[in-house]
């Protein structure tokens, strides 16, 4: 990491030596049990622990209390799933009425019935593609439309 810093910033030999001297003067924070240090920080505070070990508070905070696991930080927040209503006779009549009044499939499926409950688009497509039922008279013959 230090090598990459020196290469990327085109430092002269004198500057590299100055960086190395400063790097060597930094006290390394080493401990065998990190959990004990975290407990001590929670009990006495960061300032006390940083003074005890001779380390900068910011360094302690970064090394002990930041989660370096990248998989948890890239997760997307969960959104509530859409729940589709069960198709019953009442809902089917309502869908037919909406279709007859010129509502499109997308507009019908956007209507919210309660919290995150919607009409299933497959049900609307099925009802849309249905042929109207033929009306049969009491004698058993199909009834013709009076406007024919």
DSSP per residue, 6-28? HHHTT--HHHHHHHHHHHHHSPP
pLDDT the model gives residue 70 = 46
Position 137 scores a pLDDT of 66
Between 19 and 94, name the one with better pLDDT: 94
Question: Are the C-beta atoms of residues 109 and 124 closer than 8 Å to each other?
Answer: yes
Task: Please tell me the pTM assigned to this model.
Answer: 0.36
Residues of the chain with pLDDT > 90, as a percent, come to 0
Tokens, residue 134: 């033929």
**SS3 letters across 26-85:** CCCCCCCCHHHHHHHHHHHCHHHHHHHHCCCHHHHHHHHHCCCCHHHHCCCCCCCCCEEC
């Amino acid at each position: 990491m230090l090598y990459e810093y020196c290469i990327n910033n085109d430092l002269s030999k004198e500057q590299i030596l100055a960086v190395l001297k400063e790097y060597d003067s930094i006290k390394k924070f080493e401990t065998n049990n990190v959990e004990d240090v975290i407990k001590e920080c929670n009990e006495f505070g960061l300032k006390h622990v940083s003074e005890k070990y001779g380390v900068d508070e910011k360094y302690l905070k970064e090394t002990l209390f930041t989660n370096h696991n990248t998989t948890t930080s890239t997760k997307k927040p969960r959104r509530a799933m859409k729940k589709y209503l069960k198709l019953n006779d009442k809902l089917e009549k309502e869908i037919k009425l909406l279709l007859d009044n010129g509502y499109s499939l997308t507009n019908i499926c956007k209507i919210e019935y309660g919290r995150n409950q919607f009409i299933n688009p497959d049900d609307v497509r099925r009802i849309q593609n249905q042929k109207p039922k033929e009306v049969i008279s009491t004698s058993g013959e199909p009834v013709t439309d009076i406007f024919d």
